[in-house]
Amino acid sequence: MNKKSKILSTPINKSTSSLMDDFNSSIDVDKRLIEEDIAVTSAHVKALVKLKVISKKEALTIQKGLNSILNDHKKGRLKFSKKNEDIHMNVESYLNKKIGNVANKIHTGRSRNDQVATDTRLWTIKASKNLQEEIKNLMKSILNQARGNEKTIIPGFTHLQVAQPVSLAHHLIAYLEMFKRDLNYFDFCINNSDENVLGSAALAGSNYNLDIGLLNKSLHFSKSKNNSMDGVSDRDFCIYFLHASSLTATHLSKLSSELILWSSNFMKLFNISSEYSTGSSIMPQKRNPDSLELVRSKTNSIRIKSIELSNIVSNLPLTYFKDFQEDKRIIFDCYDELISCIKIMEEVIKKSNFEKSIGRDLCNNYFATATDLADYLVIEKKIPFRDSYKIIADIVNYAQKKNKNLSQIKIDEYQKFQKSIDKNIYKYVDINKSLSRKKTPMSSNPKEVSKVIRKYIKFLRIR
C-alpha cells in the first residue's frame, strides 16, 4: 500500500494503492487544462475576497503563486503527480509548496465538480474558436483556387458519372458553403458552452454567497447555470463540440475522397503537390496522395468520438460520476486530430493545382450537354420534355456507336432523329455556352458564381 500522504488523505479517505493511483489519475490528460484551472481559481479567489474569506493581502500572495505556477508550466518545469489525481489538486499542491498554508483557503465554497465543468467549458470555447480560425484559413485557400476559374470547365458528376458541365469555381464554392455551415455550428457550440458553473459546488450549490456577476465577468461568461445539479452533470456542450467536429470531419472526408479520385491516372483533374504526396517503395513512377488518404481515415475516426461520449453519459443518473473523467480525453483527441486535418487540407489546396485543360474534353467525350440538347427541343421546337429526352437518348446512343461526340454529329444526322432540328442545336452543344445558359442565382452561370465569390471575399475578411 502507498503510505505517503496527499491532499485528499484523511482517516475516511485513506491512502490508496499505487495501482489505484495510476488507474484513478487523470493528470496525464487534464494537465492540458492548467491555464483554464488557474483562471478559474483566480476568479474564485476574487469572489472570496469580496466575502472577506480571503484578505486582499492573501489574494495577492495567491495570485503571485498562481502566476509562478503558470510560468513554470510554460517553461516546462512542472512535474505533475498522479498521487494528486488531477490538474486541480496538482495546482493546489504546487501552490501550497510556493506560498504555504494560505493556499489551503482557495477551495472554500467550491468543489472539483463545478471547477472541472467550468474549466472544460472555457477550454471548449477556446478550442472552438481555434477551429473556426483554421476552417476560415482553409476556406481562403479554396476561395483563392476558385477566383479566376468561373469559366474553367469541369464535369459535374452524379453517381461518379459525368453529368453536366460546371465551372471549377462553382464546384469549389460548394465546399465553402459546407465549411461556412461548420463555422455556424461551432458558434452554436460556443454559445451553449457559455454558462458558468461556479457556485454549483458539489451539486447543491455553495454555502457562500459568491458574487456570480463577478465570477462571470472575470471569466468572460455571459451567464451562469440556472441549476446546480445540471451544472455539474451537464456534458451536452462537449457533445455539441464533438458533433460540430464530426460535421467538419465529414466535409473534409468528402473533399479528400474527391481529390483522391481527381488525382488518379484515370481522371487527372487534380495535381497534388509533391510536398503532400509520397513515393512507392517499389514502383519509382508513382506518387501517392497519402496526405489526403490520412485525412480521410482520421476524419472517419473523429466522427466516432461523439458516439463514444454519448455512450458514456447516456445512462448516468444525476449528478457527478467519475465516468465524466473520460470526456476530456475524448474532446482533446478529437480537437488534435481535427485541427491537424484542417491544416493539412489547407496546405494541400494552397500548394496543389487543378488541371484546367482536361475538363472540357471529359464533358465532350461523355455527352455532358445532353440535357442542354433536350432543352433545345423544348425551348425552340416546343417538344414536351419527356419526348425530347427520348430523342436525345437515341442521339447519344447513336453517337456512342459511331464513336463521336455531340459536336461532331452533322446536321443531317441529327435530323434523322427529329426533322425540325436546325443548326441552332450547335449553340446548345457548345460546352462554354452551357454555363451561361443557366438562369437561377445558385447556378454555375459565371456571372452568378462571380457574385458568390465576391460575397465570400467580404465574408472571410470581416468575420
User: Cell 490508496 sits at which residue?
Assistant: 16
Cβ-contact 364, 270 below 8 angstroms: no
Please report the pLDDT score of residue 16 as a whole number.
78
Q: Read out DSSP for 271-284?
A: E--GGG-EE-SS-T
Tell me the C-alpha distance between 364 and 362, whole Å: 5
Q: What is the pLDDT of residues 358-411, one digit of tens each?
A: 999 999 999 999 999 999 999 999 999 999 999 999 999 999 999 999 999 999
Query: 30-56, pLDDT tens digit by residue?
Result: 999 999 999 999 999 999 999 999 999
Same domain, yes or no: 205 and 140: yes
- CB-based contacts of 17, cutoff 8 Å, min separation 6: 1, 2
| Position 130 pLDDT exceeds 70 | yes
- Pair 166, 267 in one domain: yes
Class of residue 139 by CB neighbours under 10 A (exposed 0-12, middle 13-18, buried 19+)? buried
Gap between the Cα atoms of 110 and 425, Å rounded: 79
Residue at a domain's end among 56, 85, 108: 108
End-to-end CA distance of the chain: 57
Mean pLDDT (whole number) for 231-248 = 98
Tell me whether residue 3 is in a domain.
no
Does residue 2 sit within a domain? no
Our answer to whether residue 88 is catalytic in this structure is no
Give the pLDDT band of residue 6 (cuts 50, 70, 90): low
- Residues 208 and 320 occupy one common structural domain: yes
- On whether the CB atoms of residues 197 and 231 are closer than 8 A, the answer is yes
Q: What is the pLDDT of residue 9?
A: 57
In this structure, is residue 303 part of a structural domain?
Answer: yes
Q: What percent of the chain has pLDDT over 90?
A: 90
Choice among 159, 281, 314, 357 that is catalytic: 159
Q: Domain containing 351 — which CATH number?
A: 1.20.200.10
| Residue 305 sits in the same domain as residue 170 | yes
In this predicted structure, the answer to whether residue 291 has a pLDDT above a threshold of 80 is yes
Question: What CATH number does residue 457 fall under?
Answer: 1.10.40.30
In terms of domains, do 259 and 329 share one?
yes
Q: Report if residue 10 sits inside a domain.
A: no
Residue 284 has pLDDT above 80, yes or no: no
Q: What is the pLDDT, as a whole number, of residue 1? A: 32
Q: Are residues 202 and 264 in the same domain?
A: yes
Pair 354, 365 in one domain: no
Distance of CA 366 to the CA centre of its chain: 36
Respond yes or no: is residue 280 known to be catalytic.
yes
Residues 233 and 293 reside in one and the same domain: yes
- Say what the pTM is: 0.93
Which of 17, 274, 280, 420 is an active site residue?
280
For residue range 71-90, what is the model confidence (pLDDT) as tens digits? 999 999 999 999 999 999 99
Q: Which of 150-159, 204-213, 259-268, 454-463 has the lowest mean pLDDT?
A: 454-463
Domain stops at, among 295, 330, 360: 360
pLDDT, residue 7, reads 61
Dist. CA 247–CA 306, nearest whole Å: 11
pLDDT at 4 over 80: no
Question: Does 74 lie in the same domain as 213?
Answer: no
Range of the domain at 399: 361-462
Least confident of 19-28, 67-76, 90-99, 163-172: 19-28
Q: What is the dihedral of CA 329, 126, 73, 92, to 10 degrees?
A: -70
Asked whether the beta carbons of 292 and 272 are under 8 A apart, the reply is yes
Output the pLDDT for position 463.
52
Distance CA 390, CA 91 (A): 76
324, 434: one domain = no
Looking at 60, 86, 108, which one is the last position of a domain?
A: 108
Total tally of structural domains belonging to the chain: 3
- Same domain? 216 vs 160: yes
> Do 77 and 119 sit in the same domain of this protein?
no
